[in-house]
Structure 1
Amino acid sequence: MNSISRFFWFCSGVHIPTLEKHPTEHNKYLGIGATIFFTGLFAALSGGYAMYFVFKGDSTALPFAFLFGLIWGLAIFNMDRYIVSSINKSASTGKQLLQATPRILLAIMIGIVISRPLELKIFDKEIKEKLKVTYLNNQRAKIDTLNVAFNNKYKIELAKLKETKAQRDSLESGIKTDRQKLNFEIFGNKTTETSGIMGYGPYAKRKEGELKQREQDLDTLSAGVRKLEDFVDGRKQFDGLMSEKLYTSKQLDSLTSIAGFADRNSALGQLSINSNGKKDVNTALAITFIGLLFIFFECLPVFVKLMSSRGPYDRSVENIETAQMYESDKDKDYEITVIDGVHDTRVSTEINRRKNALNSN
């Protein structure tokens, strides 16, 4: 237990030999040190998780994540330790607040930075679903853009194909009607356009000749349509339209599993917005409060140090610093006095030497 306490005292940035003289201060600085330590631990986990996504899919992802997480955690730990230990409790309340203001702002920024990767992990399932929707919409938009560009590029050919198809369909419909009329004529069905006399007469022969000619025209139009369709399909293949298709569920799962930090971060920001464009208050509050929790946790050591009253440890540290400053001043006076004395001696010696030299001449 003693070694654990000393470790957390070290984390709080105190002068351990001085703190050991004041048992009533032990728990306070143990708590401050533990808070600083766990803040650094969370920062290490957060940084490592973020780096893991940067190198995800690479064999070096885990080593890089571990190394960066360790470095990032130690950096945040050292910064927090400095922030807390640098607050001077011997100063007035206003001066302490002035000292703490930039440190609190820095703590807020650190809290935001370390909370984001952990938020990504907390909302991992929702982020994946949002990414699937985003990827699907992006792919659909890409296909639509390619289609629009293709239609503009081959406007003349597509218009000709449409016109030829319309002619073919119209001719095909007319042939069906004429064939029905021919059958009515042969079987003696009386209509406004048939004679009503059964048999294969002159009228039927003429109709059949016209029908064959129209069927030949239909074959010609159909061949033209097929030729134009082959051309359009070839152009689509060349321009990449045939290869672009909407993602399947398996493809979407694969894409979300390798999504980078930027995509996941963007998806997290979109979680608070519904598909209809309105804000999802519940999700937004959840994300906000999780972020605020880490910000508060990061600021907690500073707040604890500010709220704590000036204890015997602070008085002892102030006395030690005062004594050291006094000793430093005395050392300065000592050095100045010695230098002045040496200087005077050197001057006197030089004066006597020169006088003796003059007298000897």
Structure 2
Amino acid sequence: MDEDSSERRWEDMELDILVRIFKTFNIIELTSGISRVCSTWRLACSEPMLWKTLDLGLLKSNYIKIPAAPYVWVSDSSDKRLMRLLKVALGLSRGTITCLIFHYDLYLKDEHLIYTAERCPRLKQLVLPAWNQITKGGICKAIRIWQDLESMTMPSIVHPPYIMEEIGKSCKNFTELKLMGPCDVLFASTLATWLPKLKVLSLRCTVLTKEALILILDSMMHLEVLNISHCVLREVPEPPAPKRVLLELDETIIGKASRLREFYTCLEDSCLMSQRTKADEGLIRWYKYEEWLWRMDEVSSLSVAMEQHVEVGGGGSIVPS
């Protein structure tokens, strides 16, 4: 080698090459290591290409301990670790995030959700399958910030009108919804009232009443895609007649659904997912099954595939103290 030549340093590499390399790393590596090496690497870590999607579902939950289902609790220290991670990630993203994915057993609080909403106001897709620790005021405040929201995955809630009303008022481009919980007549009527222009609806792997299904098909005339795969479909007759589970769709439902562009359904006993939903009585316990399974959907736009999996469970920490 010539004596006047020198080795090229990593920090002198072109930004576009660094960005392509950094695309192969996960959120933990980007936020707790790579972005702290030098100013050039931090600049590369802020490239919008890396932050279209913030996938916190990549983390194997380290915030919630589940010693024996269904016991779940959250500690103050885990809340602080989560906030530190959010601060670094959202600082690097510079407001460019359009898709935000949370883990189904990551129980956020108002402070986490609102902090996140204020720093990614351009959000279009939100995957938030659990919000047990979030108040009505917290979720409504976040929704008001996300006026560009088009798609949402949400858990079941006992009294749904307030969230559907907030989405209907604040998110004029909202067209897709996935519900990870029971759907009854109350929920169906709320959808028809506040989201009449909804185009895509997924109710897979849950309890669905026949009455709610008919109400959706009759009232939501803009609906194009409906997924009721692997549901426990129940009929609720007038008392004292007992509820009963339907093993197939009748001609009335098939006829009403014929106007849809796509109608996904599976009630087959031979189907593994249908077996699991029935075994869990329509309230599927995702923690018992494959880590990635809760992310899947027959509707491609609602399926959030896992690119990488980060093992940070047990005694591991999310970000350095």
- Normalised to the residue count of structure 1, the TM-score between the two structures is 0.20
Q: Whose RCO is larger (CA < 8 A, sep 6+)?
A: 1
Higher helix share: 1
Higher strand proportion (structure 1 or 2): 2
Q: Which has the larger radius of gyration?
A: 1
